[in-house]
Amino acid sequence: MATHATGSAPASELHAERLSSALGALVTGVDLATDTSDATVERLQELFLEHQVLCIRGQQAMTSGQQLDFAARWGEISVHPYVPSIDGYPGLMKIYDPNPVTQRWHADTTHAAAPPALSMLLARILPPIGGDTMWADAYAAYEGLSPGLRHTLDGLRAVHRGTELAGEAGLDRDAVTQTHPVVRTHPVTGRKALFVNGDYTSHFEGWTAEESAPLLAYLYAQVARPELVYRHRWQVGDLVIWDNRCTQHAVVGDTGGAERVLHRVTIAGDRPR
C-alpha cells in the first residue's frame, strides 16, 4: 500500500464536470502521484458512484507501482485468469490495439463467479487519431424497458462463458463458465442494471441458444442506444475508472494500426445478485 500523502490539491480543490447526459464526469485538480489522501480518495469514490465513469485527467506522472497502490485503496486487486500481468506488477495489464473482443459492448470478465467491481485504465501511448472508448449506462438500459419485460427479465438467469482466449490459455471450459442474473442489483446503490453482454453471455438458463438469441440481441441494442452512451476521446495521462456492475464499454477500432497502450487494473467484486 502507498503512503497516503497529502499533496498540493486537497479534495476540496477537486472539480468534476459532467461529460454527457447519460454518464461520465471529468475530474481535474488532483495529482494522484502526490495526493492519495483519505479525503481525496473518499471524494473520488463519491463521484464514481454518482457518475459511473470518471476520467481523472493529467495522471501521466503515476508509476505502475503508484497505479496499483491507488487501485488497492478501492478494494482487492483482481488478477485476470488468463490475460498476463506486466512483469513485476501482478494485476496490472497492458491493453494494446483494439480487437474484436474489445470492440463489442461488454462488461469485464462476467464469466467469473464474482466479476470485477470496477476497472481503472491509464492511457500511456495513444495513436494520433482514433481508439476512443465508449461507455453505456446499464441502469438506464434496464429502466427504459417496459414493465412487462422488466418483470420477465427479473426472473431470468444467463450463462456466461470465457472467450476463445481462455481456451488458448489452457483453461477448462467449466472453469470459465458461470450463471448470473440477467438483471443485477448494485450492492452499493441498490439500483438494477442489465447484466448480459455480447462477449460473454451465451444463452438464458433453461433456454436454447437459438431461443435466447433474439431477446439477447434486443437487450444488447438497448445498452448501445446513443443517448445512453458517453464516448471518451483519450489524452495521455487520462485515468478512467468505471463501474463494471452498471456499465458496459466498447472500443472504437479506428486506430489504423497505430500504437495504443493503456494500463488496466481491476478491483474484485461480489457475486451478482
Q: Quick check: is 3 in a domain?
A: no
199 and 100, same structural domain? no
197 and 149, same structural domain? yes
82 and 202, same structural domain? no
Query: Has residue 174 got a pLDDT over 90?
Result: no
Task: Indicate which residue of 35, 69, 108, 137 is catalytic.
Answer: 108
Res 172: pLDDT: 57
Concerning whether 249 is annotated as a catalytic residue, the answer is yes
Q: Quick check: is 2 in a domain?
A: no
Query: Has residue 178 got a pLDDT over 80?
Result: yes
Can you list the positions of beta strands (E) in 126-210? 133-137, 157-161, 177-181, 183-185, 192-194, 201-204
Considering only residues 84 and 8, tell me which one the structure prediction assigns the higher pLDDT: 84
Q: Quick check: is 47 in a domain?
A: yes
Query: Has residue 261 got a pLDDT over 80?
Result: yes
Concerning whether 232 is annotated as a catalytic residue, the answer is no
Above pLDDT 70, what percent of the chain?
91
Concerning whether 31 is annotated as a catalytic residue, the answer is no
Q: Could you give the number of structural domains in the chain?
A: 2
142 and 38, same structural domain? no
Q: How many residues does the chain have?
A: 273
105 and 18, same structural domain? yes
Task: Indicate which residue of 106, 184, 203, 260 is catalytic.
Answer: 106
Task: Indicate which residue of 43, 104, 249, 263 is catalytic.
Answer: 249
Task: Indicate which residue of 43, 180, 263, 264 is catalytic.
Answer: 264
Give the model's confidence band at 173: pLDDT under 50 very low, under 70 low, under 90 confident, else very high: low
Q: Round the average pLDDT of the chain to a whole number and report it.
A: 92
Res 166: pLDDT: 55
Give the model's confidence band at 11: pLDDT under 50 very low, under 70 low, under 90 confident, else very high: low
Separation of alpha carbons 64 and 33, rounded Å: 10
Query: Has residue 6 got a pLDDT over 50?
Result: no
Question: Is residue 89 helix, strand or coil?
Answer: strand
Contacts 24+ apart (CB under 8 A), 216-222: 216/158, 219/141, 219/153, 219/182, 219/194, 220/105, 220/196, 222/141, 222/144, 222/145, 222/194
Query: Has residue 171 got a pLDDT over 60?
Result: no
83 and 177, same structural domain? no
Mean pLDDT of 191-200: 97
172 and 118, same structural domain? no
Q: Quick check: is 261 in a domain?
A: yes
Mean pLDDT of 175-204: 96
199 and 96, same structural domain? no
Q: Quick check: is 91 in a domain?
A: yes
119 and 16, same structural domain? yes
Mean pLDDT of 41-62: 98
61 and 37, same structural domain? yes
Q: Which of 47-51, 94-98, 118-122, 191-195 has the lowest mean pLDDT?
A: 94-98
pLDDT tens-place string over residues 81-135? 778 899 999 999 999 878 888 999 999 999 999 999 999 999 999 999 999 999 9
Q: 49-68: string of b/e by CB count within 10 Å (b at 16+)?
A: eebbbbbbbbbeebebebbb
Mean pLDDT of 186-210: 97
236 and 102, same structural domain? yes
CA dihedral 266, 84, 232, 46 (to 10 degrees): 10
CATH classification at residue 94: 3.60.130.10
114 and 33, same structural domain? yes
Question: Is residue 199 helix, strand or coil?
Answer: coil
Concerning whether 264 is annotated as a catalytic residue, the answer is yes
Q: Quick check: is 6 in a domain?
A: no
182 is in which domain, residue-wise? Answer: 137-223
Mean pLDDT of 205-214: 98
